[in-house]
Amino acid sequence: MAHCPGRGESRAERGTGLVGRAARAGGTGSPGPHLPARAFVNRAAVVMPAPSAGRISDVRATTVAVPLEAPLRHANGVHPGYFVRTLVEVETDEGLVGLGEVGGGGNSAAQAVEALRPTLLGEDPYALERLRWKCANPVQALYVPLEQMFAAIEFACLDIQGQVAGRPVSDLIGGRLRARVPFAAYLFYRHVAAGAGGERDAETMVAHAGDLVARYGFRTLKLKGGVHPPDHDVEVVTALRRAFPAARLRLDPNSVWSVEDAIRVAKRCEPIGLEYLEDPTWGLAGMARVSRNTWIPTATNTVVVHFDQVPAAVALQAVGVILVDPHFWGGILGAKKLAGVAETFNLGLGMHSGGELGVSLAAMLHFAAATPNLAFAADAHYHHLRDDVIAGGPFRYEDGAIAVPTAPGLGVRLDADKVGRYAEAFARQGAYDYHQDPRRPGWFVVFPGDSERYAAPGT
């Protein structure tokens, strides 16, 4: 018959397990000769209350305009001297604040983020799948770039989770495999401004690359092409190869070339030894034609930006490298899912840059630290910025790499003074059209590019 504690006698008072049974049998609770001593250690079960993140009580968005060293030209337009980014703060009723960040192609995303506020209030910052479906279901996302808005929310929620756990975000997503993340020097043709810029030919671009290598230690160089005719970009990467024989080189014309031009350029670049040729033309079918006609791997951050595009890309063998961006893929966890898919199909994985400030860069660093198959140096416009909004100043490059934050959460906090200053700058300067060049009135891009659309070499 099972023994039950006597009336008025608790189980703790009677003893439990082997120790209790020995005491009830008249023993002292000491182990007998036939049982190991450790079997008789009676440890009281003490359940400590888990730290609480609380529930989401507020969502705030602030748009800032942070200056660049010089305007950055690309095949589709120009960044006219500053980046516009929207900072996101998610606060809980426990007083915790998580940070996120999102771009907008030169526009503020504050209204879109704040439109999610009623959906988020009262929610658990740990319930990320629930939040993803509430904020960014795929039908809704056909009309608004909700994945990017949700990514900023997810960054903030992971930041809160890390603060509660006392661990960096990289520890929450698998643990860091690298303490430092290597980056590429991002070489743009630049308009002149405040004594900087003016790169428009091989000589000036080589000088610019040399300055960046000397200042930051980059070992990978990426040319943002497509501004001038294709042969001009070939001349520039050829000069870069001569000047930096050990560097890894990439070329990205932002999809503006025709398939035929892309194949011709790829053939000319094969002796140069490009690491990959990024988005040489538009569309999966076009990329597949290019891929079949060169040994240089093709890479993309434009034709594979949703999971439903991956099967077609694999079937067509359209690309060799996918450039993941946690913003485009709905957050760090979405980017991790893509990394798993890329690993399954043995596709290369790099990381795209959309002009991040320190909050987004911290999220990207944590993702990169915990993603084993991120085999290429990451892209970042970061070295073009004159300042940042995070406390302590901008992240620092060392030997072409940036250290992954080790503090809990994302590991960065906002500098309130700088946020205020650059919010005022946005109010003063306003948004800009990413797809125009103020110095080329009336110009707009057409795919594929032609002699009338390209800027003349030397301009």
Q: Is residue 386 part of a domain?
A: yes
Q: 127 and 191 share a domain?
A: no
What is the Cα–Cα distance from 419 to 65, expressed in whole angstroms?
9
* The last residue of a domain, from among 393, 414, 435: 414
CB 22 within 8 A of CB 28: yes
Residue 222 appears among annotated catalytic residues: no
- Total domains in the chain come to 3
Q: 240 and 365 share a domain?
A: yes
Q: 357 and 259 share a domain?
A: yes
Residue 3 appears among annotated catalytic residues: no
* 325: CATH: 3.20.20.120
Q: 141 and 210 share a domain?
A: no
| Domain of residue 357, residue span | 174-414
The candidate with the shortest Cα–Cα distance to 390, out of 409, 369, 416, is 416
Q: Is residue 147 part of a domain?
A: yes
Q: Which two tokens stand for residue 421?
A: 């200053």
Q: 212 and 224 share a domain?
A: yes
The catalytic position among 228, 352, 366, 418 is 352
Q: Torsions phi, psi of 92, nearest 5?
A: -110, 165
Q: 27 and 150 share a domain?
A: no
Q: 222 and 351 share a domain?
A: yes
Q: 103 and 218 share a domain?
A: no
Q: Is residue 423 part of a domain?
A: no
Q: Is residue 19 part of a domain?
A: yes
CB 442 within 8 A of CB 393: no
Q: Which residues of 344-362 are buried (b: 16+ CB within 10 A; e: fewer)?
A: eeebbbbbbbbbbbbbbbb
Q: 60 and 106 share a domain?
A: yes
Q: 28 and 166 share a domain?
A: no
* 100: CATH: 3.30.390.10
Q: 192 and 143 share a domain?
A: no
CB 169 within 8 A of CB 159: yes
The catalytic position among 79, 191, 208, 224 is 224
Q: Is residue 3 part of a domain?
A: no
pLDDT in tens, the chain (459 residues): 444 443 344 333 333 333 333 333 344 344 444 444 444 445 545 666 778 899 999 999 999 999 999 999 999 999 999 999 999 999 999 999 999 999 988 999 999 999 999 999 999 999 999 999 999 998 887 777 899 999 999 999 999 999 999 999 999 999 999 999 999 999 999 999 989 999 999 999 999 999 999 999 999 999 999 999 999 999 999 999 999 999 999 999 999 999 999 999 999 999 999 999 999 999 999 999 999 999 999 999 999 999 999 999 999 999 999 999 999 999 999 999 999 999 999 999 999 999 999 999 999 999 999 999 999 999 999 999 999 999 999 999 999 999 999 999 999 999 999 999 999 999 999 999 989 999 999 999 999 999 889 999 989
CA atoms in the 13 A half-sphere facing the CB of 96:
24
What is the Cα–Cα distance from 414 to 388, expressed in whole angstroms?
9
